[in-house]
Amino acid sequence: MVISKDVHLPSESDLTVDQEITLSTPWLKAVAPYMAKHCEKEANEFMLRRKELEDPRATLKEGAALTNCGVKFLQSLKRSCLAETERLANCVDQSSAKLYLSKCHDDQKQLDACVETNLHVTRPKLGYFSLPHVHNSAAPPPPLPIRDYKAEAAKVLAELPDDYHLRKDYRKYNDWRYNFAES
């Protein structure tokens, strides 16, 4: 593998959270909008930082906070609306092969009402999560890496010995073809 010993990988404890979300797909599809709405701040923060830094190692803390938020929400949901959630999850599981929610809107409305009264989370309208959202993060964005190629080249050239065999031929790219058909 290309990950050498110089590459810093986080320790096992950094990569472990107290509780992962271990729901199956029908249950996840049943509870996802409420969970995402409840943890919207954490989710936006995580996704923004993840996109900015392009590094899974740098956003472990945000990811753990997001998972903890989701787990807490699911625990409170289990305490208040377990029966409705189970009905909706079973409906999602059994009503279509692709686990669509379209046949389960009756059960979904009951769960909507239960979650709204008990947990004060309103289910967002269809398409809410597909819209772009503005999120102001406390962490500043990473600086844009801009390299000064001319300065780097000048530095390399300055380090070369005086009798270095610099190439004198300045031929065009196409002149390096071996035959006519190539490139």
Partner 1 sequence: MPPPGGYRQFNFHRTFPKIVWRPGVVVATIFGASAYGAYAAIQEKKRAVTEKFEDVDINTALEPFLKAERDRYWLKLIAKNRDLEEEVMKDVPGWKTGTWYGEPVYFTLGDKWWDPATREVFAHSYQFNENRDLLWRQHSEYAGPKFYDNWFPKSISKYFW
Query: Exposed/middle/buried for 76, CB within 10 Å: 0-12, 13-18, 19+?
Result: middle
| Residue 131: C-alpha distances to residues 25, 34, 76, 134, 150 (Å) | 23, 16, 27, 10, 42
Which residue, chain included where needed, has tokens 């780097």?
Answer: 152
| Residue 45: C-alpha distances to residues 51, 83, 129, 135 (Å) | 10, 32, 15, 7
The token pair at 118 is: 């008990």
12 binds partner 1 (CB under 8 A): yes
13 binds partner 1 (CB under 8 A): no
Interface segment toward partner 1; rule CB under 8 A; list 27-35, 76-84, 160-168, 171-179: 27-35
Interface segment toward partner 1; rule CB under 8 A; list 31-39, 112-120, 155-163, 165-173: 31-39
Among 29, 84, 111, 121, binds partner 1 (CB under 8 A): 29
Residues that bind partner 1 (CB under 8 A): 1-7, 9-10, 12, 15-17, 20-21, 28-29, 32-33, 35-37, 39, 42-43, 46-47, 50, 54-57, 59-60, 62-64, 66-67, 70, 97-102, 126-130, 145
